[in-house]
Amino acid sequence: MITSIRTAVFPVAGRGTRFLPATKAVPKEMLPIVDKPLIQFAVEEALEAGVTRLVFITHSSKRAIEDHFDVDPDLERALEAAGKDEILKTVKAILPKEVSCVFIRQGEPLGLGHAVLCARPAVGNEPFFVHLPDDLIRGDVGCLSQMAEQFRVSGSSVVAVENVPQDKTGSYGIVDVDDADRMKAIVEKPDPAEAPSTLAVVGRYLLTPKVFDLLETTGRGAGGEIQLTDAISDLLGHESVHAYRFQGSRYDCGSKLGYVQATIDAARTDPEIISALQGESLL
C-alpha cells in the first residue's frame, strides 16, 4: 500500500482576471504576501508533506514561475560579493536540490479538471496532491501534511473542506457527507437554496489516479469549463472519498479581500514590521 505522496500538481494556468491589472504581466501566483510569492508558500507546504516532484500546469503568461524556481548564478554571485549572506541563504533555499520540477502547458484554459488531466503523463499511476496556490492556508501543520496523514488512515482520496456562509455556496464546490465525513455527493457552485450543505471544497486535494480516467470523459460543466468537481463526483461511484476538515486559517488570495487579510496577518507576525509600525505610531 502506498503511504507517501511524492507528486504535487499546481494548476496555475488561469488568467487571474479578478486581480487585473496587477496580473496582466505578473502571474497571480507570484503576488507576494509581504516578501514571499504565493507559489512559494504552496511549494513549501508540499515539501513539508514529503513531496519530491512538483508539476506546474502553466501558460505562456506564467514564465516568471519557472524563473522563480530556477537557479540564478548571477544573482547568487552578486549577493555573495556584497556579503548579503542571509538573503543568499534564502534565495538558495527556494528549492532543495533533490526536488524536481516539471512544467506542462495547458494551452487553452478549459477548466481546473482539464488542467489536472494535463498532469497525467508526469504523475503516472499513483496518488497525488493538487494544490491551488491562491488558497493560502496557514497553521501549525501544513494542510497537505494533514491530508497525507488522513490518507494513511483511510487509503482513499481526500478533499479539504471548510464551512462557508450559506450565501457563499455559489462560489464553491459543496459536499454532502455521512457521519464519518465520507463524501456522499459533491456539486459545483450550487445556489444557496439548493446546496446540500455549507461544507465547501478548498484548494487542496489528494487524489487516486482513477480520477484521470474519469477526467478523460468529463464534459464541460458549470461555467462551460471541465470541472474537477464533476470528475470527483464520478469517482464516488468507484471509490470512497474523504471530506477532510483541516486545521488552519484559509485566505482566498484570488480575491482582493482575502489577499489583503493574508498580508495583514503575515505582517502582524513579523517582529521587524511590528516594531517598525509601533515606532511610527501606526499600530
Q: List contacts with ligand UTP (CB under 6 A).
A: 11-18, 28, 57, 106, 109-112, 114-115, 132, 134, 254
Residue 16 or 173: the one with the smaller Cβ distance to ligand UTP is 16
State the nearest-atom distance from the C-beta of 281 to ligand UTP, in Å.
Answer: 36
Q: Is the dihedral of CA 118, 122, 123, 124 positive or negative?
A: positive
In the complex with ligand UTP, the residue whose CB is nearer, 57 or 199, is 57
Measured from the CB of residue 14, what is the shortest distance to ligand UTP in angstroms?
A: 2
Alpha helices in 49-177 (DSSP H): 63-68, 73-81, 85-92, 112-118, 120-123, 143-154
Q: Which is nearer to ligand UTP, 115 or 243 (CB)?
A: 115
Residue whose Cβ sits closest to ligand UTP: 14
Q: Are 162 and 199 a contacting pair, CB within 8 Å?
A: yes
- Report the residue number, 244 or 259, with the smaller CB distance to ligand UTP: 259
H or E, element range at 176: strand 173-177
Cβ nearer to ligand UTP, comparing 172 with 246? 172
CB of 113 to ligand UTP, least distance (A): 8
CA distance 276 to 181: 46
Query: What CA–CA distance (Å, rounded) separates 128 from 143?
Result: 14
Q: What is the DSSP code (8-state) at residue 78? A: H
CB of 100 to ligand UTP, least distance (A): 20
Least distance in angstroms from the C-beta of 205 to ligand UTP: 11
**One-letter amino acid for residue 104 of the chain:** I
